[in-house]
Structure 1
């Protein structure tokens, strides 16, 4: 989350003001965002939920 925020050039304060979410707790791992929170963040960043999770490197599924 911090990387995405930094890539957009947003401060924590900006994201907090525009989403009303305590992103500092998410960025430190002290709290896990709900789906509703993720949707708010995706709206702010103008990305889809799929795009939000795209950088995750999941192991390939076996067929």
Structure 2
């Protein structure tokens, strides 16, 4: 999940800031970023909303960080 780390760095945030804001375990967040662990659907949705991007971007299914337009 290279895009997860990429977007965090692009927004100038640390893992600690994300972990505190979303109440996600720092170890889990680190493993998400390295691809050692896949986030739950709940965590994916939280991360996508936090970074204002799509779940597809976080899962490296697209290189477009702009979120989809709302329904």
TM-score by length of structure 1 reads 0.71
- The structure, 1 or 2, with the larger RCO (C-alpha pairs under 8 Å, 6+ apart) is 2
CA distance in structure 2 between the aligned counterparts of 1:51 and 1:33, rounded to whole angstroms: 13
Aligned-residue CA RMSD (Å) = 1.9
TM-score by length of structure 2 reads 0.65
2:15 pairs with 1:12: yes
Match of 2:54 in 1: 48
Q: Kindly name which structure, 1 or 2, has the bigger radius of gyration based on alpha carbons.
A: 1
**Can you list the C-alpha shifts for 1:2-34, whole angstroms capped at 9, x where unaligned?**
101001111000010011223111112221111
5 Å-filtered alignment, 1:32-43, equals 32-43=38-49
Gap regions ≥5 residues in structure 2: 65-71
Gap regions ≥5 residues in structure 1: 57-63
CA distance in structure 1 between the aligned counterparts of 2:32 and 2:56, rounded to whole angstroms: 18
Runs of 4+ in 1 over 3 A off after TM superposition: 50-53
Paired positions, count: 56
